[in-house]
Amino acid sequence: MRRRINLLKRHYWISIAVMALLFLLALVRATLADPLVQTTVTVEMYAIAITLLAIPGALKLFAEKIRKVSQGSSRETIVKRYRNAWLLRIYVVNLVAAGNILLYGLSQGRNFMWLALVSFIVYMFCQPSLQELESVVREKEEVQ
């Protein structure tokens, strides 16, 4: 289990590094050049709505997928389901962050910058944890 968590942690830190690099590039581009596109209020409203729905949705989806692991499952099955649920959660957060960073880089709209920063805060809730995985495994094994 420790090896799997270490792989997920590596994946986690690479995701944050890539998104931070993209964000820094968007910031540099915003200070050096004019906006490439003008966004409308409608685009900003959809970006806000998607961000505000996708982030809690990803966090809730993770919790639901973990909760629905059957009690009779083997340890390996539980670990695999945890990994799949965790990867789905981080990819949804990555997609939302990348979309907001891209929109900020293209339009230089401050709303997109703030939405990207909110996405970075969400990463704090996505870090894989050995204790969390062990508690899920222990909980499912105790029910048997």
Q: Please give the Cα distance from 131 to 87 (Å, whole number).
A: 17
Residues 6+ apart with CB under 8 A from 99: 47, 50
Question: pLDDT for 74-102, tens place per residue?
Answer: 888 888 888 999 999 999 999 999 999 99
Q: Name the pLDDT band for 144 (thresholds 50, 70, 90).
A: low
Cα–Cα distance for residue pair 100/106, rounded to 1 Å = 10
What pLDDT, on a 0 to 100 scale, did the predictor assign at position 50? 95
| Average of per-residue pLDDT across 18-45 | 88
Do residues 126 and 90 lie in contact, with contact meaning Cβ atoms separated by under 8 Å? Answer: yes
- Residue boundaries of the structural domains of the chain: 1-143
Q: What are the pLDDT digits (tens) for 36-48?
A: 888 888 989 999 9
